[in-house]
Amino acid sequence: MTDRPRAPVSAGLRRDLEILELLARPEHASGGLGVSRIAELLGREKSQVSRALKALESEGMADRDPESLEYRLGWRLYALAARTAEARLTHLAAPYLRRLVAALNETTHLCVLRGSGVLTLLSVSPTHAFRGLGWEGVTVPVPMTSAGRVLLSDWAPDTLRAWMASWLKESPMPGHPRQRPPDIDYLLREIAMIRKRGFAAVDEEFEPGLVGVSAPIRDFRGGIIAAINVSAPKGRLGGHLDEAGRRTLAVARELSAKLGYHPETRPH
């Protein structure tokens, strides 16, 4: 307020995205939301929300049910999303994940590093599972998950320390308050092991009773762009976690090859 030297703010964009993010929350996605409720949840003036939503609707970013006057996400968002790099990767990866599911009979995920979290792009579940649906589009903390560690595993140690320090500052563990992140040296040792054997395994570090393995996906440039993850209750997968890791790694290597990766193309 006093001496902001230059405030490169884009208030409108942030407001619009807050609204869209709210519409995307799973608990609202099915029903839709009205103006007043959105304004209340966001702590904004309903007049602003009304005008913003009208604009969003006229641009196709939100749809409105003419009867109930409730808003939901619009067609244009989906059209745009189809063109992202993530969509292409997801599409290529789907058959590989299905093969892994057929082999292991456990749910598999395709994950990427997004900002300060691990974003799940795609989940594929075996026949006996209730339903995937849970994790797509959701982010989980990086350092406690096998997928997150794999995604960090080609970084230099000092880069990693710096990243981890800033991550700790900005990530107050929303939703998982009891979890404490691992200390950095432990993480570095884990990552060294990941590089050695090619895949990561975690045993109840992220969720009690849950184990998981992950292996990296590389593209033609040689860097890690994504991870394939398998997660399951410890009772089912705990006994043969190592074998699951090797199979995951094998599938990840095939997908990497499909993306143009050659093992000698390692990054600098």
CA distance 78 to 177: 33
Q: Select the binding partner of residue 69 from a copy of itself, DNA, none (C-beta < 5 to 8 A, by kind).
A: DNA
Nearer to DNA among residue 69 and residue 162 (C-beta): 69
Residue 148 binding DNA, by CB under 7 A:
no
Q: If DSSP codes are grouped into helix, strand and coil, which group holds residue 266?
A: coil
Which listed range, 8-16, 126-134, 184-192, 260-268, lies at the site for DNA (CB under 7 A)? Answer: 8-16
Q: Tell me the closest approach of the beta carbon of residue 34 to DNA, in angstroms.
A: 2
Q: Select the binding partner of residue 238 from a copy of itself, DNA, none (C-beta < 5 to 8 A, by kind).
A: none
Residue 72 has φ and ψ, to the nearest 5°, of -145, 175
Residue 7 binding DNA, by CB under 7 A:
yes
Sheet holding 117-124, edge to edge: 139-141, 117-124, 107-114, 224-233, 210-218, 200-203
Q: Which of residues 56-115 bind DNA (CB under 7 A)?
A: 69-70
**Residue from the set 36, 58, 159, 166 that interacts with DNA by CB under 7 A:** 36
Q: Select the binding partner of residue 37 from a copy of itself, DNA, none (C-beta < 5 to 8 A, by kind).
A: DNA
CA distances from 153 to 76, 162, 185 (A): 36, 14, 14
Long-range contacts of 157-160 (CB under 8 A, 24+ apart): 157/188, 160/184, 160/187, 160/188, 160/191
Which listed range, 43-51, 135-143, 207-215, 237-245, lies at the site for DNA (CB under 7 A)? Answer: 43-51
